[in-house]
């Protein structure tokens, strides 16, 4: 069975009609992993023992006519910075190699309760720092559409797994685009919910004021279903929002005629690949044909977003990553040496180049004398960016942009120049700085057959509207636009 052609919904229907057993599906999932993943390399850890045990139990429940959850028996992949009890959580880093989590993230717990079956943990840029998954300390994940190209990052393993059919659904995390970027490069759907929508309990912190867990799937409907399961208040996360979760799936087919869509002029300037531009313009025409009103809008502080993001994210990272000291987690080097030397050796050999660069940048931005000039200034810019969006959402309901300025780039093309890698985040990071929900959906391919992503953003906690607008694009054939 080819998981590439099957959706979660269809799978659950097949189980219900007894046309297929969960054990059969889990067996073919691992078969596909064996066949495909030696090239794609999406997974760091596989959990077949638990998966088969859960499949067996689920089959029994289904056979006995028990009511099962909406994701019963659906194979999911989890980014390896999200904790699962008794499974290793590496964050793609040597410093956590072999570290086994003592508890399970709330999002994973909720998926489990809905019947989903975790098949493994996926590769990522070390501590989710990157846009290509090349910063993993272990290996590079490849784009299933072209193995010489990156899958995007940092949730590259999760996106590549869904796109190559080695899982049906996946979780990623998005601090500055890490769900939407790989979704765009791998031709799948990626959703970053509003800040606070999904509990961060069990998500290893990178930049706590920006981090959100998000979903990857082949269709908007599947992501809507997953979000319905994982969103909602959790007392284990003090930043989790006590906001009602709408019936995302049920609302998908509500009409979108007269929805006002804003297209920010600042997102269509230099550096935007002409083929990406023309597909996004064709995407806009799909919305016109669906009766939406397209308006040009302005988000004037966009040009400062990269600078603000790379100050705030690195400042928070430098403080969050202080906990990896050789005492509390994973790796310890020079255990018999003096304490300072043990810290130094552990961090020196445990962290990769990009992580060190960010710790240095962040520590600098927070140091006495530079704090006001860099960190506080960046926070002020963040407020201005949020205000741009607030003003825009007085006039429009959703905002439409390309997800990235280009299609997937070649492996090693940008590794020598970190700045060029940072610049690829220009369209995705504003959403995190403002705490808004964002989605990337496929919008055709370029002349080389590489996927292009269209991004929609909505106001805080307007996921339901955003998903509906995305779903109807898909229904109108926008994903396969020529």
Active site residues: 79, 154, 178
Contact between 471 and 218 (Cβ < 8 Å) = no
For the bound state, the minimum distance from the C-beta of residue 432 to ligand GLN, rounded and expressed in Å, comes to 7
| Pick 73 or 177: Cβ nearer ligand GLN | 177
For the bound state, the minimum distance from the C-beta of residue 128 to ligand GLN, rounded and expressed in Å, comes to 4
| Pick 170 or 313: Cβ nearer ligand GLN | 313
For the bound state, the minimum distance from the C-beta of residue 317 to ligand GLN, rounded and expressed in Å, comes to 8
Helix pair angle (22-40, 156-164), 10° resolution: 120
| Pick 131 or 346: Cβ nearer ligand GLN | 131
Count of CB atoms situated within 10 Å of the CB of 384: 14
Could you tell me how many helices (H) and strands (E) the chain has, helices first?
16, 11
For the bound state, the minimum distance from the C-beta of residue 297 to ligand GLN, rounded and expressed in Å, comes to 24
For the bound state, the minimum distance from the C-beta of residue 473 to ligand GLN, rounded and expressed in Å, comes to 24
- The CA–CA distances, whole Å, from 287 to 27, 214, 317, 472 equal 41, 25, 39, 9
Handedness of CA 13, 16, 18, 21 (dihedral sign): positive
Half-sphere exposure of 187 (CA within 13 A, CB side): 18
| Pick 222 or 425: Cβ nearer ligand GLN | 425
For the bound state, the minimum distance from the C-beta of residue 339 to ligand GLN, rounded and expressed in Å, comes to 31
| Pick 223 or 432: Cβ nearer ligand GLN | 432
Q: Locate tokens 């689920």: which residue? A: 58
Task: Give the Cα separation of 15 and 460 in Å (integer).
Answer: 36
Task: Give the Cα separation of 168 and 5 in Å (integer).
Answer: 10
Please report, as ranges, the residues that interact with ligand GLN according to CB under 6 A: 128-131, 154, 174-178, 206, 313, 425
Three-point CA angle 163, 164, 167, nearest 5°: 80
| Pick 129 or 169: Cβ nearer ligand GLN | 129
Contact between 335 and 342 (Cβ < 8 Å) = yes
Q: Which positions ≥6 away from 276 have C-beta within 8 Å?
A: 402, 404, 405, 406, 407, 446, 452
């Amino acid at each position: 069975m080819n998981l590439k052609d099957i959706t979660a919904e269809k799978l659950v229907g097949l189980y219900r009609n007894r046309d297929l057993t969960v054990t059969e599906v889990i067996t073919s999932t691992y078969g596909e992993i064996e066949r495909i993943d030696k090239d794609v390399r999406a997974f760091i850890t596989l959990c077949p023992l638990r998966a088969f045990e859960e499949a067996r139990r689920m089959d029994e429940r289904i056979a006995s006519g028990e009511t099962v959850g909406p994701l019963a028996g659906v194979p999911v992949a989890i980014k390896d910075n999200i904790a699962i009890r008794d499974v290793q959580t590496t964050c793609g880093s040597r410093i956590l190699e072999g570290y086994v989590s003592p508890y399970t993230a709330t999002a994973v717990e909720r998926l489990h309760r809905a019947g989903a079956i975790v098949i493994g943990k996926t590769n990522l840029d070390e501590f989710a720092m990157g846009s290509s998954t090349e910063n993993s300390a272990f290996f590079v994940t490849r784009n299933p559409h072209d193995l010489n190209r990156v899958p995007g990052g940092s949730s590259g393993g999760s996106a590549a797994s869904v796109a190559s059919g080695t899982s049906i659904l996946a979780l990623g995390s998005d601090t500055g685009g890490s769900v939407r970027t790989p979704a765009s490069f791998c031709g799948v759907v990626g959703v970053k919910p509003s800040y606070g929508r999904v509990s961060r309990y069990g998500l290893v912190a990178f930049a706590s004021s920006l981090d959100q867990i998000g979903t990857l799937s082949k269709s908007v409907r599947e992501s809507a279903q997953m979000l319905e399961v994982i969103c909602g208040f959790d007392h284990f996360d003090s930043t989790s929002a006590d906001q009602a979760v709408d019936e995302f799936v049920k609302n998908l087919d509500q009409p979108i005629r007269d929805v006002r869509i804003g297209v920010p002029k600042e997102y269509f300037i230099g550096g935007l690949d002409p083929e990406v531009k023309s597909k996004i313009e064709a995407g806009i025409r799909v919305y016109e044909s669906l009766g939406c009103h397209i308006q040009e809008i302005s988000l004037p502080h966009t040009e400062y977003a990269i600078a603000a993001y790379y100050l705030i994210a690195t400042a928070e990272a430098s403080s969050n990553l202080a906990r990896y000291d050789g005492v509390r987690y994973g790796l310890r080097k020079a255990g018999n040496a003096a304490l300072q030397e043990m810290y130094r050796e552990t961090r020196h050999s445990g962290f990769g180049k990009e992580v060190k660069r960010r710790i240095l940048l962040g520590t600098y931005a927070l140091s006495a004398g530079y704090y006001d000039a860099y960190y506080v200034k960046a926070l002020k810019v963040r407020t201005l960016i949020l205000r741009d969006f607030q003003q825009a959402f007085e006039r429009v309901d959703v905002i439409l942009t390309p997800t990235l300025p280009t299609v997937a780039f070649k492996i090693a093309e940008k590794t020598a120049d970190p700045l060029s890698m940072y610049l690829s985040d220009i369209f995705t990071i504003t959403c995190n700085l403002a705490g808004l929900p964002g989605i990337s959906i496929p919008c055709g391919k370029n002349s080389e057959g590489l996927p292009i992503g269209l991004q929609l953003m909505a106001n805080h906690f307007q996921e339901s509207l955003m998903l509906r607008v995305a779903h109807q694009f898909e229904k109108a054939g926008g994903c396969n636009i020529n």
